[in-house]
């Protein structure tokens, strides 16, 4: 195997993978841990990927799955737990919380994981809708409607300074 | 507009935000937005948000790559890990051989070991050996090549999934000329195993083998027994193998298809509604 080609192919994707991982985790160390895990896994499975396919969506899929697995493990429960924990943070009353939510990245954090991932993959990483659908293992139609929903929520959070569409979970 | 155009949908608006409309569609959407200033405002707002998001993340993208993420660094660490693992396996073999007593047995046991140890971690080797043995046993079977035939595929896969504790779907290998005959449940040292048998138009047979297996994930491992080839790999607690009387180059694309088939059925359930 031409390992120089592999090295160049993978390293060219590292800046984008770091950006995606950092947007997901918002933590420098955790993001690079995620990228490292992703690259190690990619190296192990390099011979298994479909060589004719662009490696970018493949790498984003690995990284995103590792991230989701990590969330589930840390929280020890299903993905819906992630949602209500976010909700608790989000519904913090008071001026500080509201001000902070006016930041786009902070607002992005309040979206469900799939919507957040989609906004990043499509809006920032420029994946096609088909590629994003493959990363999330969803039909393209579902991707389009979740993308629309994600954008609507993001707008709403930033306009009102709080995720008013949420029911408070207590 | 001509009146025969497809009405503008939410997906068009998303594509407008992402700048992915075809020129013809773009004209239709622009005309639509001109008539709907509130939606035009919304689309413009979403474009602004996307640009803000990109700008907020640009700094991270521009950072130099940390040394620990260099591929050369990761490769070196991986080699060191595999070597450490190989040493553990080698040490275990030496203990086993010493305990075996007779010189003849010791020689026979030890002979293939250094080669195998250098090439592959033990679990994938075990899976390949089990798969090759099961293939040998049943591929020559005329009267009862399978326990449950492909006519009852749903029942077969449900049964095997239940016994192995993993959702299994029979990979579709028809584009390689392999047609599912059926499958059977086997007993191997580590517990239950599943074997699926395929046949081509010339009556040649191919088997797919699955059993639980500990050990780190691996890439494909290749094994040759006479004219029979096996590819084996470990993935998320299970060992998989594909065996047929063919050469490495012909079997590889089939093994890749099987790998992708199983990976899809193992994908974590995502999506809430």
Region of poorest pLDDT, from A45-59, A111-125, B46-60, B90-104: B90-104
Does B262 have pLDDT greater than 80?
Answer: yes
Does A62 have pLDDT greater than 90?
Answer: yes
Q: Which residue among B50, B71, B233 sits closest to A11, beta carbon to beta carbon? A: B71
pLDDT tens, residue by residue, B160-205:
999 998 889 999 999 999 999 999 998 887 888 999 999 999 889 9
pLDDT tens, residue by residue, B54-66:
998 999 999 999 9
Strand-pairing partners, residue B195, are B184, B209
Please give the Cα distance from B167 to B248 (Å, whole number): 28
Region of poorest pLDDT, from A40-54, A125-139, A142-156: A40-54
Higher pLDDT, B262 or B171: B171
Question: Please, where are the H alpha helices in A48-139?
Answer: 55-75, 79-90, 95-100, 104-108, 113-118, 129-136
Please give the Cα distance from B231 to B252 (Å, whole number): 7
pLDDT at site B100: 46
Q: Which residue among B18, B56, B271 sits closest to A104, beta carbon to beta carbon? A: B56
- Identify the residue among A84, A104, A108 best suited for mutation to test binding to B, counting B beta carbons within 10 A and taking the highest: A104
Per the CB < 8 Å rule, is A44 touching B65?
A: no
Which of A91, A107, A141, A134 lies closest to B267 in space, CA to CA?
A134
Q: Is B105 exposed, middle or buried (0-12, 13-18, 19+ CB in 10 A)?
A: exposed
Average pLDDT score, chain B? 82
Contact B188, B151 (CB under 8 A): no
This complex has an ipTM of: 0.79
Per the CB < 8 Å rule, is A44 touching B14?
A: no
pLDDT at site A139: 94
Based on C-alpha coordinates, what's the Rg of chain A? 17
Give 3-state DSSP helix, strand, coil % of chain A, rounded to 5.
75, 0, 25
| Residue B17 near chain A (CB below 8 Å) | yes
Q: Which residue of A has its CA nearest to B62?
A: A15
Does B215 have pLDDT greater than 60?
Answer: yes
Q: What angle do CA A104, A110, A116 make, to 5 degrees?
A: 75
Higher pLDDT, A32 or A70: A32
Per the CB < 8 Å rule, is A137 touching B219?
A: no
| Residue A160 near chain B (CB below 8 Å) | no
| Maximum mean pLDDT: which of A44-58, A141-155, B187-201 | A141-155
Predicted model pTM: 0.56
The residue-averaged pLDDT of B104-129 equals 52
pLDDT at site B77: 83
| Residue B71 near chain A (CB below 8 Å) | yes
Which of B197, B227, B220, B260 lies closest to B125 in space, CA to CA?
B220
């Amino acid at each position: 195997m031409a390992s120089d080609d592999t090295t160049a192919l993978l390293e060219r994707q590292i800046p984008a993978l770091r950006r995606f991982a950092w947007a997901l985790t918002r933590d420098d160390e955790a993001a690079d841990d995620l990228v490292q895990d992703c690259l190690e896994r990619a190296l192990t499975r390099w011979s298994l990927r479909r060589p004719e396919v662009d490696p970018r969506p493949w790498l984003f899929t690995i990284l995103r799955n590792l991230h989701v697995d990590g969330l589930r493990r840390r929280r020890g429960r299903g993905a819906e737990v992630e949602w209500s924990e976010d909700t608790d943070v989000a519904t913090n009353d008071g001026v500080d919380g509201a001000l902070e939510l006016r930041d786009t990245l902070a607002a992005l954090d309040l979206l469900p994981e799939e919507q957040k991932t989609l906004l990043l993959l499509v809006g920032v990483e420029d994946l096609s809708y088909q590629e994003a659908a493959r990363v999330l293992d969803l039909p393209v139609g579902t991707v389009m409607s979740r993308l629309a929903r994600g954008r609507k929520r993001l707008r709403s959070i930033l306009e009102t300074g709080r995720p008013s569409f949420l029911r408070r979970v207590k | 507009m001509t009146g025969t155009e497809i009405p503008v949908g939410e997906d068009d608006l998303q594509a407008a935000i992402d700048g992915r409309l075809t020129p013809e569609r773009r004209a239709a959407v622009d005309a639509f937005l001109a008539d709907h200033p509130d939606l035009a405002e919304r689309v413009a707002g979403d474009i602004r948000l996307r640009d803000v998001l990109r700008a907020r993340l640009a700094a991270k993208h521009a950072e130099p790559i940390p040394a620990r993420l260099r591929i050369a660094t990761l490769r070196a660490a991986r080699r060191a890990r595999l070597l450490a693992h190989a040493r553990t396996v080698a040490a275990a073999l030496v203990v086993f051989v010493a305990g075996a007593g007779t010189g003849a047995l010791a020689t026979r046991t030890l002979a293939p070991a250094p080669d195998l140890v250098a090439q592959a971690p033990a679990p994938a080797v075990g899976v390949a050996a089990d798969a090759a043995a099961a293939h040998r046993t049943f591929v020559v079977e005329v009267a009862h090549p399978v326990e449950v035939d492909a006519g009852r595929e749903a029942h077969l896969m449900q049964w095997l999934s239940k016994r192995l504790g993993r959702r299994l779907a029979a990979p579709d290998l028809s584009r390689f000329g392999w047609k599912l005959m059926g499958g059977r449940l086997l007993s191997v040292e580590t517990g239950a195993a599943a074997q699926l048998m395929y046949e081509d138009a010339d009556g040649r047979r191919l088997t797919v083998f699955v059993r639980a297996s500990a050990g780190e994930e691996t890439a494909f491992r290749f094994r040759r027994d006479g004219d029979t080839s096996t590819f084996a790999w470990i993935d998320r607690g299970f060992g998989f193998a594909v065996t047929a009387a063919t050469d490495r180059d012909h079997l590889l694309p089939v093994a890749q298809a099987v790998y992708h088939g199983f990976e899809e059925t193992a994908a974590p359930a995502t999506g809430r509604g």
